Amino acid sequence: MVEICASAFDRPLREAVNAPKTAAEKLLVRLGERSYPILFGGDGIEEVQGAVADLAKVGRRVAVVTDGHVVSSQGAVIKKMVGEAPTFVVEPGERSKSLEQVGLVLDFLAGERFDRTSVLIAMGGGVIGDLAGFAAAIYLRGIDYIQVPTTLLAMVDSSVGGKTGVNLTAGKNLVGSFHQPRGVFIAPEFLRTLPAREFAAGTAEILKCGLLADAALFDRLAREPLSLASADLSSVIRRCCEIKAQIVEEDERELKADGGRALLNLGHTFGHAIEQATAYRAYLHGEAVAVGLAGAARLSKKLGLIPGDAVATIENALSAHGLPTRLSAPLGMGELGQAMARDKKARVGALRFVILRSIGEAAVRADVPPAVVLEVWAELGAV
């Protein structure tokens, strides 16, 4: 096993990883001195309790950032995990990913007199992970943090890889930092209180993983929609983490021009534009990504890369998981185009799209004619 750097925090994490577990219950993201384990299984309580207790033994304090939904549904679990640790609760939803909110988190940490040995625990969905991770990245120029994702989307995507950040009025995730967590604790038990709509939103990122890197995974999802009752739910979550970990290991900071980590944005160029144009109110992130995946599939067909029956297969799989494949209400192409132009993948003013060469293989293209993009938007319901 690759050795993780020997800070006081790494010791309890290594002890947790080396506890008597099966090989299927742990996964190491290999990034040199920034390597960290993803721990799977159970209800997560024992693992987080152990890490918090061992941190306390070496004098390291912890605090929690979470949201109101998690507190109302999992308050007793939080108490078991972290005891009386200071907890900062934000309003649920994408609108909490703001500079104003991260400032409040920083004030909270300073008010609790947290120092550079302190550890922040992000307990919630993708918004909480991004917000708390960014606060950890910039407080005292960087403190350690742990991800404890409580939504399906966060488990399979946002809790892994170290992208943190907040939104601006101009666009999504335009302010942020690469700041890897020191560990990720994934417990599918958290999903038992997740609303059905949130679970469905998480499946969008799972379908994305299959589309970009694992045709067999996508085929499994196309044959039978994933649900909380699926016997293979845990293994599907793990497979998505494996895919993302491999991509992140090869391109941690999204520097490759021909793909790399940018591939994880399949469906997101369209999806982020939809979120911004609706002020993050009409769609959950996964729902916007689902429409974006339909858009990416249609764009790939127009570029002569995949056949029409592949587009139908993709859209049927999305629909079977309770996800949209069209805009629920018309949006203006001008507004969507402006939002898309601010996409982070743009280089020298040119948009780059993640497209499908086939189901299970994706690529980045920078030579997409604007007229073709407008045709796709029209098919998705834009006006």
Q: Is the pLDDT of residue 24 over 70?
A: no
d(C-alpha 383, C-alpha 379), whole Å: 10
Flag whether 200 is in a domain: no
Residues contacting 371, CB < 8 A, separation 6+: none
d(C-alpha 211, C-alpha 263), whole Å: 10
| Reported confidence tier of residue 15, pLDDT bands at 50, 70, 90 | low
Flag whether 25 is in a domain: yes
Shared domain check, 295 and 160: no
Q: Is the pLDDT of residue 18 over 60?
A: no
- 179 is known as an active-site residue: no
Flag whether 3 is in a domain: no
Reported as a single tens digit per residue, the pLDDT across 149-168 is 999 999 999 999 999 999 99
What is the mean pLDDT of the segment spanning 59-64? 97
Shared domain check, 157 and 218: no
Instruction: Count CB atoms within 10 A of the CB of residue 20.
Output: 5
144 in Cβ contact with 136 (< 8 Å): yes
| Reported confidence tier of residue 170, pLDDT bands at 50, 70, 90 | confident
Reported as a single tens digit per residue, the pLDDT across 356-368 is 999 999 999 999 9
183 in Cβ contact with 51 (< 8 Å): yes
Flag whether 199 is in a domain: no
Whole-structure pTM value? 0.92
Q: Is the pLDDT of residue 238 over 50?
A: yes
- 3-state SS, residue 367: coil
Lookup: tokens for 38: 């993803």
Shared domain check, 220 and 105: no
Instruction: Report the number of distinct structural domains present in the chain.
Output: 2
- 25 is known as an active-site residue: no
Output DSSP code: residue 157: I
Flag whether 159 is in a domain: yes
Q: Is the pLDDT of residue 380 over 70?
A: yes
Reported as a single tens digit per residue, the pLDDT across 184-202 is 999 999 999 999 999 999 9
**Which of 12-16, 177-181, 203-207, 305-309 has the lowest average pLDDT?**
12-16
Output DSSP code: residue 383: -
- 167 is known as an active-site residue: no
Flag whether 198 is in a domain: no
Shared domain check, 189 and 217: no
CATH number at residue 188: 3.40.50.1970
Beta-strand relationship, 26-29 and 119-124: unpaired
- 69 is known as an active-site residue: no
Shared domain check, 173 and 30: yes
What is the mean pLDDT of the segment spanning 22-48? 86
Q: Is the pLDDT of residue 215 over 50?
A: yes
- For residue 368, give its domain range: 205-380
Shared domain check, 165 and 82: yes
d(C-alpha 359, C-alpha 307), whole Å: 10
Cα dist. 200→15, 38, 53, 86, 315 in Å?
35, 23, 35, 32, 14
Q: Give the pLDDT score at 4.
A: 34
- 163 is known as an active-site residue: yes
Q: Give the pLDDT score at 349.
A: 66
Beta-strand relationship, 26-29 and 36-40: antiparallel
* Last-in-domain residue among 170, 193, 216: 193
| Reported confidence tier of residue 10, pLDDT bands at 50, 70, 90 | low
* Last-in-domain residue among 193, 214, 247: 193
- 141 is known as an active-site residue: yes
Q: Give the pLDDT score at 2.
A: 30
d(C-alpha 310, C-alpha 306), whole Å: 6
* Residue among 268, 298, 344, 352 flagged as catalytic: 268
- 34 is known as an active-site residue: no
Shared domain check, 209 and 183: no
Shared domain check, 352 and 237: yes
Which percentage of the chain shows pLDDT scores above 70?
A: 92
Q: Give the pLDDT score at 275.
A: 95
What is the mean pLDDT of the segment spanning 340-353? 77
* Residue among 26, 60, 69, 163 flagged as catalytic: 163
d(C-alpha 294, C-alpha 274), whole Å: 13
Reported as a single tens digit per residue, the pLDDT across 269-288 is 999 999 999 999 999 999 99
d(C-alpha 95, C-alpha 86), whole Å: 23
CATH number at residue 267: 1.20.1090.10
Cα dist. 63→38, 105, 106, 240 in Å?
20, 11, 12, 28
Shared domain check, 251 and 167: no
* Last-in-domain residue among 125, 160, 193: 193
Q: Which amino acid is at 50?
A: G
Residue found by looking up tokens 């309580």 in the block: 45
Beta-strand relationship, 183-186 and 144-149: parallel
Reported as a single tens digit per residue, the pLDDT across 103-143 is 999 999 999 999 999 999 999 999 999 999 999 999 999 99
* Residue among 26, 261, 301, 344 flagged as catalytic: 261
Q: Give the pLDDT score at 11.
A: 55
Shared domain check, 186 and 237: no
d(C-alpha 149, C-alpha 383), whole Å: 37
* Residue among 26, 238, 285, 298 flagged as catalytic: 285
Q: Is the pLDDT of residue 50 over 70?
A: yes
What is the mean pLDDT of the segment spanning 321-334? 96
- 244 is known as an active-site residue: yes
The enclosing H or E element of 76 equals helix 68-82
| Reported confidence tier of residue 3, pLDDT bands at 50, 70, 90 | very low
Flag whether 280 is in a domain: yes
d(C-alpha 274, C-alpha 271), whole Å: 5
227-231 contacts at long range (C-beta below 8 A, 24 or more positions apart): 227/199, 228/191, 228/192, 228/194, 228/199
- 344 is known as an active-site residue: no
More confident residue, 265 or 345: 265
Shared domain check, 217 and 90: no
Q: Is the pLDDT of residue 317 over 90?
A: yes
First to last CA, the chain: 54
Flag whether 178 is in a domain: yes
The enclosing H or E element of 172 equals strand 171-178
Q: Is the pLDDT of residue 221 over 90?
A: yes
Shared domain check, 261 and 218: yes
